[in-house]
Structure 1
């Protein structure tokens, strides 16, 4: 069957093309009864709008803003670079992506930037956000103005954000716990846990999943209280080094955030590489080297390129009022050992 057109739709609903245009573009001036007639005709004809043609006709431009914390975190730098690259690749589709660098863990600054955005130059926002009241309120204000917000990497589910793009962080923590238990099977001892900040929901969820698996399945492995390194290598080296000195019986380490150069430095100074089982996140260049030389045992990875592309596609779908392909936008948890490095 030929695809139904707006002319077919107008005839079936008994209304003018101008009325069809108003209903499809959600403009005012149409009675509810007329809208219902049009929607019923759409259902009978199985009408599917050609959004690409519609947006082209309207000269629709997509102006997306990506807010990414840029410090010494290699993964975040890679995410920002991927977003910038996407802007260049999709310019022909009238998509532009402006990457705004924000200081890591600065809730006040992030909230201020979010509050400064408006619909005149912003179609949608993707943000790596902390779970903070000011940030949550700023996201809600954007939603109230009709600007869709997508959270990236770390979610803020209590806000009015429209979608989350990232891995299942609780599952990632459970995976790390399962790997740790298998690697250390038959041994007992202390396990260190290093986070960037427990104000980040992804870090909280990873810790929860990890702790749950060890407590229920590997009770001989006892986790120490979480230490925080702010995803900064120098800070991580100091706080982790101090912990290793206080507890020389540590046999495992789960680094669930950034700052892994500091992890490597602290372990190497104490000749602990290979003696302590280490599971970390993100396959950066220095983590790859640590896997190869045996300092790290496993890396859990999320693809920053996939996340940037997914955020762009989701924002476009939200802007166009189209459904999101949940299967396409699911971000995988990749597990790398030195035997299967890409």
Structure 2
């Protein structure tokens, strides 16, 4: 059977005879499983070494474009910057284009102006104009990886992030379990409906909470900005005195709790997303119940790897959904 490495090369790597390696590669009988495992590990090691040679001396420039609250963009920027040295011997640099509030036209303009890049990591609205801008980039040879929220109708080369629908179901389960027999409706805060990821979280949450009979009160279009969030939540709480729990897929949690405090209302259960600085503090202070978190550094590493793969610098590897971690004050990393 033809193989990408010579039998002699694999035998040298694993310290076995060429005859043994040949039997493994051709799936012949009489070979122990641990011997097969040694040969497969040798091939994997050779793949890594080949990848290192392809990376040696190469330079890559990646653009990170995000419409998101600063608390999240700061955390993701730190994750990207921490992971870039791991791609040595290649030199990978990143440019960041980050803003909290803006329009679809602003996002399209930013995507249109990108020049001299080897790839884009993108958190953007799921809008037709955005999809078309992504398609133009990809058609010009620039791979685009969507992050945290997808634009699935585009030609993007991959999505990195959690299963958002599953996250919403998880939040609904936690809220209903912790509320128990307490009569309470639930507030959900969505930063903007054009972000597919938050929409999927909301759909999962509504689906999971439906059997409980609890009403879901929605606050949206805050962009996750504190001042706007507090005003919208305050108005919603005044209109719905039965709300005693919150699911926040869109952020602005300090502002949401400030609105409860202004009305002298308790929040019995609060489920949030992402371990940014605000949520760490709120967890330590016992103001929120749990955070649905994913490892931002692992996300950054996967996104950069996808871009390097599409530039032919690394072997192809399928991207898998990021596991969801349930973080409480007692397992806060």
Residue 50 of structure 1: SS of its match in structure 2? Answer: helix
Q: CA deviation at 1:62?
A: 1.9
Could you tell me how far 1:335 is from its partner in structure 2? 0.7
TM-score by length of 1: 0.78
What corresponds to 1:218 in structure 2? 212
1:267 to 1:147, Cα distance in 2 relative to 1, 3 A: same
Q: 1:89 to 1:55 in 2, by over 3 A?
A: closer
| 1:168 aligned partner | 163
Could you tell me how far apart the structure 1 residues matched to 2:257 and 2:280 are? Answer: 11
Q: Report if the CA contact (8 A) 2:100-2:225 is conserved.
A: no
- Work out whether 1:257 is the aligned partner of 2:240: no
Q: 79-88 vs 236-245, which deviates more? A: 79-88
1:297 corresponds in structure 2 to 289
Of 57, 74, 78, the residue aligned with 2:75 is 78
- Which residue is equivalent to 1:140? 135
Give 1:51 deviation, angstroms: 3.8
Mark the runs of 5 or more structure 1 residues left unpaired by the alignment: 6-46
Within a 5 Å distance, the mapping from 1:99-118 to structure 2 comes to 99-118=96-115
2:304 aligned residue: 312
CA distance in 1, matches of 2:169, 2:327: 16
Shift of 1:224: 2.1
Q: Displacement of 1:323 after TM fit?
A: 4.8
Displacement of 1:106: 2.6
Indicate how the Cα distance of structure 1 residues 249 and 103 shifts in structure 2: closer, same or farther if over 3 A, else same: closer
TM-score when scaled to structure 2?
A: 0.80
Give me the whole-angstrom Cα distance separating, in 1, the residues matched to 2:219 and 2:252: 15
State the distance in 1 between where 2:314 and 2:297 align: 23
Output the CA distance in 2 between the equivalents of 1:244 and 1:222: 13
The CA deviation at 1:196 is 0.3
Between the two proteins, the alignment pairs up a number of residues equal to 295
Q: How many Å apart are 1:214 and its aligned residue?
A: 0.8
Q: Which moved more, 1:227-236 or 1:291-300?
A: 291-300
Distance 1:277 1:241 in 2: 17
The alpha carbon displacement at 1:191 in A equals 1.3
Further displaced range: 243-252 or 221-230: 221-230
Deviation sequence 1:281-309 (CA, Å, 0-9, x none): 11223222322333211111122222211
Helix, strand or coil: the match of 2:187? strand
Alpha-carbon distance, 1:325 to partner: 3.1
Equivalent residues in 2 for 1:18-29, closer than 5 Å = none
